[in-house]
Amino acid sequence: MKKTILYLLMIPFGLFSCKDDETTTPSPTVSSELSGDISTDVTLDPKIEYKLTGSLLVVNGGKLRIPAGTVIKAEKGFNKYILVEQGGQIFVNGTADKPVRITSGAATPSQGDWGGLIINGKAKLSGPAGKVTTSTTEVNPAVIYGGDNNNDNSGSIEYLILEYTGAKSSADIEHNGLTLNGVGSGTKIENVYIPYGADDAVEFFGGSVNVKNLLVVDSDDDMFDVTQGWTGTLDNAYGVWKAGYTSTESDPRGAELDGNLDGNTPGDVNQSDFFFKNITIVNESTFEMQDAVKVRRGAKANITNLLVKGGSVTDVIDMTDGKGNGHAGTVIEYKNDGMVVKGQEVKNPDNANIKSNAAITGANTSAFGWTGYKF
């Protein structure tokens, strides 16, 4: 039996004194512990600093509402994560002035301290023809995702910071910062900042959800990862490795874009067929990036206004893979602004439509002013 959600509310303390013309403001130093299942409509209190002490599951019929300015600090560990199951919904209602922040509670935080945010929807995945495909969540195999409803609505996310994510139980079972499993286009995701995460910052496992205004800083593996039949749009995304960055992964990339899951089912229908637009990938470190963009395993990508710059890279655009090349219908328009190429600028054996354009500008960084990141 799953646990129920646990709230340990403490009495507020440290109220500010006030003069006659001032108002009293409660201190945000109260705490409450979060874990277990949410099956009803629950709204957190932005005056409380929450502690994530275990896995928090928003189950079918449950709604989790997180107001602007709320802070959640996770204890260290693989089982510290938030998972929105099929039929559950999350509403992150941050603002530019008061984003929602979910971070590590460690005194000295680091990559991989806690899990991350996972959303499971009922949208389509790649799979056999004539069948509705579902799959199991990597970090919790008891929970499924996928289906046949590309309009599925798992809620909305606006102005969210996810820090120090990516805890793992093994080399093959690990969290991302934001994991979108079969999430439908009825879900709104805009203005998300994912710094200092292990594994991938964001990964789309199928589905049709769109994401706008995404900033990624120092992800240990890929900045943007696509697999299992995703068909949405990523609009205005900026990924950067800062000076001094190193990776524990063997093949970290700017974007790793697969058609089917792990390349193991090349005969699938509904493989990834998506749009990236207004994208910047930056390497400010001395660490060599494997590929700025890897399109493989049947994926069909339409990428416009892609800017890559700084540092070194093995290949800028690579359409090849031992488990299947990227789809020949791929279209990529890009500009390499000073990335030193150690391998090939473009590896394109099937003659996809790939071309450079000196007029490209990449992401609009003014959209990320709310994060405080200095470009």
How far is it, in rounded angstroms, from Cα 347 to Cα 331?
A: 14
Q: Is the residue at 16 inside a domain? A: no
- DSSP code at position 127: B
Averaged pLDDT, 235-250: 96
Q: Is the residue at 181 inside a domain? A: yes
310 phi and psi angles, rounded to 5 deg? 80, 155
% residues pLDDT > 70 (the chain): 92
pLDDT band at 13, cuts 50/70/90?
very low
Q: In this structure, how many other beta carbons lie within 10 angstroms of the beta carbon of residue 170? A: 7
pLDDT at 20: 33
Q: Is the residue at 238 inside a domain? A: yes
pLDDT at 30: 55
Q: Where is average pLDDT lowest: 4-18, 165-179, 206-220, 222-236?
A: 4-18
pLDDT at 263: 97
Range of the domain at 336: 30-371
pLDDT band at 15, cuts 50/70/90?
very low
Contact indicator for 216, 240 with CB cutoff of 8 Å:
yes
Q: Is the residue at 178 inside a domain? A: yes
Count, residues in the chain: 375
Q: Which residue has the higher pLDDT, 27 or 106?
A: 106
How far is it, in rounded angstroms, from Cα 241 to Cα 232?
A: 25
Q: Is the residue at 75 inside a domain? A: yes
pLDDT at 14: 28
Residue 168 above 70 pLDDT?
yes
pLDDT in tens, 116-165: 999 999 999 999 999 999 999 999 999 999 999 999 999 999 999 999 99
The gap between the terminal CA atoms of the chain, to the nearest Å, is 48
Q: For 19-60, give the DSSP string.
A: -TT------S-EEEEEEEEE-SEEE--TTEEEEEEEEEEE-T
How far is it, in rounded angstroms, from Cα 366 to Cα 216?
A: 15
How far is it, in rounded angstroms, from Cα 106 to Cα 113?
A: 8
Buried b (16+ CB within 10 A) or exposed e, 313-346: bbbbbbbbbeebbbbeebebbbbbeebeeeeebb
pLDDT band at 171, cuts 50/70/90?
confident
Residue 7 above 50 pLDDT?
no
Q: Is the residue at 24 inside a domain? A: no
Contact indicator for 296, 321 with CB cutoff of 8 Å:
yes
Structural domains counted in the chain: 1
pLDDT band at 172, cuts 50/70/90?
confident
pLDDT in tens, 23-82: 344 444 456 999 999 999 999 999 999 999 999 999 999 999 999 999 999 999 999 999
How far is it, in rounded angstroms, from Cα 285 to Cα 297?
A: 29
pLDDT at 2: 40
Q: Which residue has the higher pLDDT, 370 or 31?
A: 370
pLDDT at 357: 98
Q: Is the residue at 250 inside a domain? A: yes
pLDDT in tens, 268-322: 999 999 999 999 999 999 999 999 999 999 999 999 999 999 999 999 999 999 9
